Amino acid sequence: MDLLKKSLSNAINNILRNKLINFLCLGIISFTLLTLGIFNYISYNLEIFTHNFSKNIEAIFYFKNDVKEKEIKAQISKIRKSLLVDEVIYKSRDEAETSFLSQFPELKYILTEFDKSPFPSSIEIKFKQEESNLTTKIISFIEDIEGSDIIESKQVNIDWAKKVLYIKKFISITGIFLSGILFFVSVFIIYNVIKLNIIYRKEEINILQLVGATDWYIKFPFIIEGALMGLLGGIIAGILLIILIKLIPSYSDFIINILKDIISLKKIPLKILIRLLFFGTIIGLISSLFSLKKFFKK
Amino acid sequence: MDLLKKSLSNAINNILRNKLINFLCLGIISFTLLTLGIFNYISYNLEIFTHNFSKNIEAIFYFKNDVKEKEIKAQISKIRKSLLVDEVIYKSRDEAETSFLSQFPELKYILTEFDKSPFPSSIEIKFKQEESNLTTKIISFIEDIEGSDIIESKQVNIDWAKKVLYIKKFISITGIFLSGILFFVSVFIIYNVIKLNIIYRKEEINILQLVGATDWYIKFPFIIEGALMGLLGGIIAGILLIILIKLIPSYSDFIINILKDIISLKKIPLKILIRLLFFGTIIGLISSLFSLKKFFKK
Amino acid sequence: MIGFYHVYKQYVKESYAIYDINLSIEKGEFYFLTGASGAGKTTLLKLIYKEELPTKGQILIDSVNINLIPRKKLYKLRRKIGIVFQDFKLLYNRTVYENIAIPLVVRGYRKSYIDKMVKNSLSLVGLNHRKNYITSHISGGEQQRVAIARAIAGNPIIIIADEPTGNLDTELSIEILKIFEKINNNGITVLIATHDNNLIRMFSKKTIELKQGKLISSPTKEKQQWIY
Amino acid sequence: MIGFYHVYKQYVKESYAIYDINLSIEKGEFYFLTGASGAGKTTLLKLIYKEELPTKGQILIDSVNINLIPRKKLYKLRRKIGIVFQDFKLLYNRTVYENIAIPLVVRGYRKSYIDKMVKNSLSLVGLNHRKNYITSHISGGEQQRVAIARAIAGNPIIIIADEPTGNLDTELSIEILKIFEKINNNGITVLIATHDNNLIRMFSKKTIELKQGKLISSPTKEKQQWIY
Ligand SMILES: Nc1ncnc2c1ncn2[C@@H]1O[C@H](COP(=O)(O)OP(=O)(O)OP(=O)(O)O)[C@@H](O)[C@H]1O
Ligand SMILES: Nc1ncnc2c1ncn2[C@@H]1O[C@H](COP(=O)(O)OP(=O)(O)OP(=O)(O)O)[C@@H](O)[C@H]1O
Ligand SMILES: [Mg+2]
Ligand SMILES: [Mg+2]
């Protein structure tokens, strides 16, 4: 406990002492975490999106003409039992005719030619929204009902739902993949920065070892420092993420339209590549001149 | 010259010696330059885009009914003199009738009712594509002709051109702005990294000064090093840019569609932010443990 | 206390820094280790605190074969030994106080106890007035005394000092050696590498002499030979 | 050659490391600078090669008031002076050869000339067999000799050495001082800070003694007083 307290204060002191290197490290960590965060954000919103989507799934099943009332009743009560279902509305053949007429009264003369309502009886199912993973379940539920031999046809906005599900799956898989890669990249980077810190303090570590410090005594501040840097990086990344996401939507249409126009072209002129090299060199030159200037001042 | 050669070899040696820090620095420079490069690329493509657009600008001017042949001839020869114009096609009233008939022979009976061709005479102007800044000039040129009192009306796809021009201007301005900021950011970063390098070699610099090295002798390797790093960064950024741009179009539709769906939502759940902090800390911990492990191995 | 049994040390091929050394250093005694520049004095000391491993042979300290100490337990060995390094090995950007406190801080002692011990060591080497100086801001001789104070501070049972008076004038050297003598009187084993023959003569202690890595005189030579 | 006129140096308030020093060091002579630890020897030397600036007073070297040298021209002063630092100031990750070559490389000499000069310096201090060793891999005394070889290599007109024998045994110390004597015989001014009274006695050269920053004996004291 005491060691933790001391290590924490040591770590903070060290971060403050080597401001420069830790500033760089923090920048890198923040950037990596920001990328991770953006990805997470996309995944999350897609989840909401697909969830919201299930809200809109309504299925209408039309029964075959020769189906008995009893069979229909049985089917309906079976459907009602499902936890997925919010509401089931049954429309008999006559009700279907009535509702048709209320919408198109001028077409009444057509219906007079039939002695029985020409519309099939139907049930309209509205699904609940609470459950997670709803869409997949709904899809299999609908396919289940469709298999029943009293159903003539169905009308459902399921294709879109399926597509979104596929996208979600795709995003999840690439997400896990990408997160994995990014995770290793950030570990690699922080690993190197902390190694740099260790090399920077090699002399000190050596002395500590020679006067009888345990390995853990020496390691602890570095570990705390690593964790602290990671935490700070996370905080910065979080703030950046919030800012980014609050900003983007205001420009979203503009950005998307431009992206669309530009992505379709794929010529990189040599000019740009040469300019990159030129700029790189110039930036390097200016920077080194500046940093030298400060060092060589009296 | 000899100093340059020595400094160059010194710089390369130093870059190789402090692999770690220079690796980090290079990464940062590359990233900065990549961003600059992407921006440059967008600007360039927009320019091509607007330029290609001017290729499609064709203006058709319809003359007033009572205009004399002589006046038309004068106008045409005046237009021909403009460097912007590639081709001018004059269609007299009779020619207009003939071309109409060749397209719609079954409407011949309508035309028999007129004793004179009911179509106005017209000129169609096609513009050249070589010149830069073409669109702006074409727009003012067209507006010029329209002002003439022998013109009845015009038909031209100029509105779109105007819109693109505005976008281009907007991009240029934000481009200069953004490039400026990025330029300073990269100078700041490289400045700090080279300062780090200087601090790292403070002892050596001090010794060199004490044994009588001139300031320039000491500074030169750093300057070369800065420039070399910038150049390398530029090369890496260039390669990345090429890869990126070759890759993006294959996924462009997919990316744009997803972007569109996602941008419209702007909820960041606390979950993601907490996850960022957690991940940051974990990454920091793992990394520091790893780097320590290597150092503390016998 | 310390035993060397046929110890060899090679840094590079074909050249021995230490060659077949048999040596027994007894508890509570005071030894000088002498020899020309490059004779192997520092190497011999480094073998004792296991900064270098012998190429061949066994080293026993406090009845423990240090070859067999795993690196996790190495700190136990190091806590027994107070070392004054030839190149001081101070943290030059810390204060004198902080430098001397390191061995104590590392052992996890209380602040008040550390304060007391540091003050003790500081007054032993006559540096009370430099306590809060940054170590890079004091003179070479003062730095050497800080190194000595740090070695004493940790309450070791062996003190090893590598040219502890190289940067000190004769009077101060004698004073410092008197301090080592005092420490030795408290039962602590002292081993001092030095090339200052005047000091060796003046203090007439047991002397171990090296020449090109070989032991050419040792107070316990007869005994050694008896062991083998 | 070197003149100090009412020179004061304060590192911290209320405490003088150098106090009102008037001194004249003549061309081609050999001087010892002595005094207890912390007396101000290193500080006095640092003032000569302008690593520290005097708080008050003027210092003339080779008829130039070094206070007036702009930092761009400082290298000209430094090239006149070969310095052996108390803490060596070697590049420990380079070879012995590279370390000694630095002052020559910096002056832009040809490779073959540098080779010759380094070989010369190395054999003067007896380290030819360590030429290609990494400097951290040689003994303390060997490092000190590398520092001496580097100071000689640059063909200076003044040699300043701060405790150049602190890590060397008596025989080697005498040998090294004989080298300095030989260099001095070629007309080069030599100024050696040391606390080794035996050496001072043995070589009986002009001696400057400091005590708590003040000059307490100087071979040219009468002359000095005459100037003012
Ligand atoms: N950078 C500094 N800041 C503050 N005080 C300093 C600094 N350098 C030296 N001093 C002090 O000035 C005094 C003279 O130091 P100096 O190094 O000149 O002594 P010295 O004669 O060389 O001693 P030694 O023989 O121990 O090397 C000492 O008391 C020292 O503490
Ligand atoms: N790390 C190393 N790699 C290679 N050779 C080494 C290493 N350390 C020491 N040596 C060599 O081993 C020999 C003995 O060195 P050591 O430092 O033990 O001598 P020393 O007696 O302490 O000399 P000094 O009085 O000069 O400090 C020397 O010749 C030295 O060059
Ligand atoms: Mg040694
Ligand atoms: Mg000194």
Residue range A39-92, pLDDT digits in tens: 677 667 666 666 665 566 778 888 887 888 888 888 888 888 887 888 888 888
Residue D85 in tokens: 């630092």
Measured between beta carbons, the chain A residues lying within 8 angstroms of B238 are: 273, 276-277
Mean pLDDT across the stretch C116-121? 94
pLDDT of B267 above 70? no
Report the gap between the CA of A232 and the closest CA in chain B (Å): 8
- Average pLDDT on C196-207 reads 90
Q: Determine contact, residues D112/D119, Cβ cutoff 8 Å.
A: no
* Smallest CA–CA distance from B2 into chain D, residue: D108
- ipTM field: 0.72
Average pLDDT over residues A81-110: 80
pLDDT of residue D79: 94
Residues from B in contact with D at Cβ < 8 Å? 2-3, 203-204, 206-215, 217
Task: With beta carbons less than 8 A apart as the criterion, state whether D61 and D79 touch.
Answer: no
Q: In whole angstroms, what is the distance from residue B161 CA to residue B170 CA?
A: 14
Return the CATH fold of D1-80+157-228. Rossmann fold (3.40.50)
Contact B212 D91 (CB under 8 A): no
Cβ atoms of D45 and D64 closer than 8 Å: no
Average pLDDT of C127-149? Answer: 92
Tell whether the model's pLDDT for residue B126 goes beyond 70: yes
Which residues on adjacent β-strands are paired with residue B126?
A: B58, B87
With 80 as the cut, is the pLDDT of residue B70 above it?
A: yes
pLDDT-derived band at B195, boundaries 50, 70, 90: confident
C-alpha span between B88 and D98 (Å, rounded): 79
Confidence of residue C9 (pLDDT cuts 50, 70, 90): very high
Please report where in the chains the tokens 């519309």 appear, as a residue: A119
Question: What's the total number of domains in chain B?
Answer: 2
pLDDT in tens, D153-162: 988 999 999 9
User: Which of the four pLDDT bands, split at 50, 70 and 90, describes residue B194?
Assistant: confident
**pLDDT tier for residue A200 given thresholds of 50, 70 and 90:** confident
* Mean of pLDDT values over D33-43: 92
Ligand 2 contacts CB of residue C208 (under 6 A): no
State yes or no: pLDDT of A233 exceeds 70. Answer: yes
Taking alpha carbons only, the member of A178, A274, A241, A278 closest to residue A31 is A241
- CA dist C65 and C86 (Å) reads 25
What pLDDT was estimated at residue D223? 47
**pLDDT for the residue numbered A252:** 63
Domain check: are A63 and A17 in the same one? Answer: no
| Ligand 2 nearest atom to the CA of residue C44, by list position | 18
Among B156, B188, B210, residue at a domain's last position: B156
Bridge partners (DSSP) listed for residue B188:
none
Task: Kindly determine whether residue B45 and residue A267, on different chains, have CB atoms separated by under 8 Å.
Answer: yes
**Which numbered atom of ligand 2 lies nearest the CA of D169?**
25
Residue range B86-110: mean pLDDT, rounded: 79
Across the interface, which of D91, D106, D154 has its CB nearest the CB of B217?
A: D106
Q: Which domain holds residue A203?
A: 2-51+163-297
Q: Say if residue C167's pLDDT is above 70.
A: yes
What's the whole-number mean pLDDT along residues D199-220? 89
pLDDT of residue B248: 67
Distance from CA of B147 to the nearest CA of A (A): 34
The answer to whether residues A221 and A124 belong to one domain is: no
- Residue A44 and residue A181 share a domain: yes
Cα distance between residue D93 and residue A276, in whole Å = 36
- Listed as own residue / partner, the contacts of C109-114 with beta carbons closer than 8 Å and 24 or more positions apart are none
CA A46 – CA B108 distance, rounded (Å): 61
Nearest ligand 1 atom to alpha carbon D12: 4
Total Cβ atoms within 10 A of residue C221: 15
| Residue A214 dihedral angles phi and psi, to the nearest 5° | -75, 160
Query: What percentage of chain A carries pLDDT values higher than 90?
Result: 1
Query: Which pLDDT score is estimated for C101?
Result: 95
User: Using CB atoms, which residue from B2, B3, B210 is nearest to D83?
Assistant: B210
pLDDT at res. D225? 43
Q: Do residues B85 and B79 touch, judged by C-beta distance below 8 A?
A: yes
Model confidence at A37, pLDDT cuts 50, 70, 90, reads: confident
Report the nearest atom of ligand 1 relative to the CA of D43: 18
pLDDT value at B84 more than 50? yes
Span C22-50, mean pLDDT? 93
Distance C43 CA to ligand 2 centre (A): 6
pLDDT number for residue D193: 95
> Residue A149's pLDDT is what?
78
For tokens 């997400």, the residue is: A175
Separation in Å, CA of D219 to nearest CA in chain B: 28
Residue C110 at interface with chain A, using a CB cutoff of 8 Å:
no
Question: So what's the pLDDT on residue D226?
Answer: 40
Mean pLDDT of the D8-36 span? 92
Strands C206-211 and C214-217 turn out to be antiparallel
User: Tokens 């020595």 — which residue?
Assistant: B6
Tell me the one-letter amino acid at D139.
Answer: S
Q: pLDDT by residue (tens digit) across A3-13?
A: 677 777 777 77
Which residues in chain C touch residue D139, judged by CB atoms under 8 angstroms apart? 37-38, 41-42
Percent of chain D with pLDDT over 90: 72
Atom nearest to C141 CA in ligand 1: 26
Q: Which whole number is the average pLDDT over B244-251? A: 70
What is the reported pTM?
0.71
Q: Which long-range CB contacts under 8 A does D186-190 form with residues at least 24 apart?
A: D187/D27, D187/D28, D188/D28, D188/D156, D188/D157, D188/D158, D188/D159, D189/D1, D189/D2, D189/D25, D189/D26, D189/D27, D189/D28, D189/D29, D189/D30, D189/D157, D189/D158, D189/D159, D190/D29, D190/D30, D190/D31, D190/D158, D190/D159, D190/D161
Does residue B252 have a pLDDT over 60?
A: yes
Whole-number Å distance, alpha carbon C138 to ligand 1 midpoint, is 5
Is the separation of the CB atoms in C58 and C6 below 8 Å? yes
> What subunits touch chain C, counting only 3 or more CB pairs under 8 A?
A, D
Q: What is the mean pLDDT of residues B7-16?
A: 75
Q: What percent of chain C has pLDDT over 90?
A: 72
Q: Residue A260: which pLDDT band, with cuts at 50, 70 and 90?
A: low
B136 Cα distance to chain centroid: 18
Å between D22 CA and nearest CA of chain B: 25
For residue B171, what pLDDT is reported?
A: 63
Per-residue pLDDT band for A167 (boundaries 50, 70, 90) equals low
Which ligand lies nearest to the CA atom of residue D194 in the structure?
Answer: 1
Q: Average pLDDT of chain D? A: 90
Alpha-carbon gap: C115 to the closest alpha carbon of chain A (Å)? 17
B33-42, C145-154, C158-167: range with lowest mean pLDDT: B33-42
Which pLDDT belongs to residue C114? 95
* B180 vs B251, residue with greater confidence: B180
Tell me the average pLDDT across C26-32: 94
B4: nearest CA partner in chain D? D108
Distance D167 CA to ligand 1 centre (A): 19
Task: Determine if ligand 2 sits within 6 Å of the CB of residue D129.
Answer: no
CA D68 to chain centre: 22
- Ligand 1 atom 6 nearest Cα: C137
Distance C17 CA to ligand 2 centre (A): 7
Comparing CB atoms, the residue among D85, D89, D106 nearest residue B212 is D106
Name the residue at shortest CA distance from atom 1 of ligand 2.
D137
At residue D211, φ and ψ (nearest 5 deg) are: -145, 120
Residue B120: give its domain's CATH number.
Answer: 3.30.70.3040
Tokens of D114: 């540098």
Q: What was the pLDDT predicted at D224?
A: 44
Check pocket membership of C45 for ligand 2, CB cut-off 6 A.
Answer: no
From C131, C139, C172, give the residue whose CB has the most ligand 1 atoms within 8 Å, as the site to mutate.
C139
Candidates B24, B236, B282, B292, partner chain A, best to mutate (most A CBs within 10 A)? B292
Judged by CB atoms closer than 8 Å, whether chains meet at A210 and C51 is answered as yes
Nearest one of B281, B298, C147, C88 to A215, comparing CA atoms: B298
pLDDT tens track for A112-122: 777 777 778 88
Q: Does C70 touch chain A (CB under 8 A)?
A: no
A71 and A47 in a single domain? The answer is no
Chain C environment of D149 (Cβ under 8 Å): none
Q: Which run of H or E residues covers position B265?
A: none
Question: Are the CB atoms for A115 and A145 separated by under 8 Å?
Answer: no
Q: Which of A121, A156, A191 is the last residue of a domain?
A: A156
- Interface contact D49, partner B, CB < 8 A: yes
Residues 6+ apart with CB under 8 A from C165: C144, C172, C173, C176, C177, C194, C196, C199
With a cut of 80, say whether residue A106 has pLDDT above it.
no
Q: Do residue A281 and residue B167 have CB atoms under 8 angstroms apart?
A: no
Nearest chain B residue to A260 by CA distance is: B256
Phi then psi for A213, rounded to 5 degrees? Answer: -75, 145
Query: Nearest Cα to B226, choosing from A30, D103, A293?
Result: A293
> Which pLDDT belongs to residue C225?
43
What are chain D's partners, defined as 3 or more CB pairs within 8 angstroms?
A: B, C
Angle at B162 between CA B159 and CA B168, to 5 degrees: 145
With a cut of 60, say whether residue B264 has pLDDT above it.
no
Domain boundaries, chain C: 1-80+157-228, 93-155
Q: Tell me the chain B residues in contact with residue A187 when contact means C-beta distances shorter than 8 Å.
A: 283, 286-287, 290
Ligand 4 center–CA C83 separation, angstroms: 22
- pLDDT higher at C217 or C83: C83
User: Do B171 and B216 reside in the same domain of the chain?
Assistant: yes
What tokens were used for A152?
Answer: 């003539």
pLDDT of residue B255: 63
Better-predicted residue by pLDDT, B260 or B239: B239
Residues 6+ apart with CB under 8 A from B134: B51, B54, B84, B127, B128
- Centre of ligand 4 from the C-alpha of residue D94, in Å: 25
- Across the interface, of D34, D141, D163, the residue whose CB is closest to C140 is D163
Cβ-based contacts of A209 with chain C (< 8 Å)? 74-75, 78
Residue C201 sits at the chain A interface (C-beta within 8 Å): no
Beta strands in B234-273, from DSSP E residues, in sequence order: none
Residue of D51, D61, D75, D105 for testing the chain B interface, max B β-carbons within 10 Å:
D75
Query: Which residue among A141, A156, A171 closes a domain?
Result: A156
Taking phi over 0 as left and psi of -120 to 50 as alpha, with beta for the rest, A155 belongs to beta
Ligand nearest to the CA of C9: 2
Identify the weakest region by mean pLDDT among B92-106, B169-183, D111-125, D137-151. B169-183
**Closest residue, chain D, to B17 (C-alpha):** D93
In angstroms, the CA A165 to CA A49 distance is: 10
3-state SS, residue C40:
coil
Residue nearest to atom 7 of ligand 2 (CA): D137
Is the distance from CB of C71 to CB of A215 less than 8 angstroms? yes
pLDDT level of residue B266 (50, 70, 90 thresholds): low
Task: Give the confidence band of D228 by pLDDT, cuts at 50, 70, 90.
Answer: very low
Indicate if B76 and B198 belong to the same structural domain: no
Residue nearest to atom 2 of ligand 2 (CA): D137
Q: CA–CA separation, B47 vs B63, rounded Å?
A: 34
Quote the pLDDT of residue A178.
66
Strand-strand pairing, C2-12 and C56-61: antiparallel
**Cβ–Cβ contact D73 with B under 8 A:** no
Tell me, using a 6 A CB cutoff, whether residue C154 lines ligand 2.
no
